[in-house]
Amino acid sequence: MQPVECVTCGNQVLCEKFSMAHTSVQWTAEAAVVCTEFRGRVAEGGNTARIRTCLALRESIDRAVEEGTLEVADA
SS3 content of the chain, % helix, strand, coil (to 5): 35, 20, 40
pLDDT at 63: 97
What φ, ψ does residue 39 adopt, rounded to 5°? -60, -40
| pLDDT (tens digit per residue) in 21-52 | 999 998 877 777 888 888 888 888 887 777 77
pLDDT at 27: 83
The overall average pLDDT reported for the chain is 88
How many whole angstroms separate alpha carbon 29 and alpha carbon 14? 10
pLDDT at 62: 96
pTM of the model: 0.83
